[in-house]
Structure 1
């Protein structure tokens, strides 16, 4: 693993056109940092388990990703209500059906990969903003709704390199 590329986390990327819509929403929320990030649901590295323990080879991680992906079809999903994580400015869409995300999370947690600890239970979500807002704006964000179904068909390994999120490996979920 490149020592300059840490932390490492696993995500499911939203397919188009949903990915672009999330970017547009993040931009409308005036969260330039979030708008610069890929639209995704974090599978490991945020909650449930933490980021991957340093020292694991990207090739090994990619191999486990490939093995795990073989047991999953592309995920069809719908967003639930927006939530605000307690005592934060993080607003995120919840998922109406968490089961496929929990199953994928479980497969990685029980794989040969090693993860740091996380203080938070696993909660699949798609972050839309994380900047400070007024209470009026917070109330507006909590009212956001998205009723259309969307798909997620790419599992990706991301790392932070030089302050930028970098995609280090991807695997398509079999159709």
Structure 2
């Protein structure tokens, strides 16, 4: 990586990648809802950047971030997850699948928050989720259909990514900056 190029100059997020079979089900819902922006994004559960703590500070040192995230994820075992019900974030047209057990995601975010990596502030409490739709406006019929969405099978989250996300003339510029596996063994922490 060139030393004069800061990958965090645009908003950057730390996420857990959803396995392909489950991700395809979410993508089908996004297609049905004609959410072009969401269709251009990977299916994931955001750990930093969406709520709780914000995106990585734009002036943060990339080597420091990649090393710390690598160390933390090496100690976290794959996370078994099951989606819960669909909710709509208050005063928005954003519909998301919740998670039945939020504990491992909140622990992961807390470890990152306490790691020494600088993040921008975020005014919203952390709510682990997978976004289905954010396109406005939404009709009552569309909302009713979204509330009925159910993906019930359990899955394992065993990879993470750091993505930078910018837009240029309404075109999404998404770049994966780091990719790795959750390598830890089961413990009392997770």
Same fold by TM-score greater than 0.5: yes
Residue 159 of structure 1 aligns with which residue? 164
Q: How big is each residue's C-alpha offset from its partner over 1:86-122, in whole Å with a ceiling of 9 and x where there is no partner?
A: 0100000000000110110011000010111111000
Q: TM-score, normalized by length of structure 2?
A: 0.87
CA contact (8 A) 1:8 1:158 kept: yes
C-alpha separation between the residues in 1 aligned to 2:102 and 2:153?
Answer: 16
Q: TM-score, normalized by length of structure 1?
A: 0.94
State the 1:57 CA deviation: 2.5
Moved beyond 2 Å, runs of 4+: 1-5
State the 1:2 CA deviation: 2.4
C-alpha separation between the residues in 1 aligned to 2:57 and 2:92?
Answer: 26
CA contact (8 A) 1:31 1:131 kept: yes
Deviates more, 1:99-108 or 1:161-170: 161-170
C-alpha separation between the residues in 2 aligned to 1:25 and 1:76?
Answer: 22
Bigger radius of gyration: 2
* Equivalences, count: 175
CA contact (8 A) 2:8 2:62 kept: no
* Structure 1 stretches lacking a partner, 5+ long: none
Q: How big is each residue's C-alpha offset from its partner over 1:3-38, in whole Å with a ceiling of 9 and x where there is no partner?
A: 684111110011121122211221111112101210
C-alpha separation between the residues in 2 aligned to 1:34 and 1:170?
Answer: 20
C-alpha separation between the residues in 1 aligned to 2:122 and 2:146?
Answer: 26
Root mean square deviation of aligned Cα: 1.5
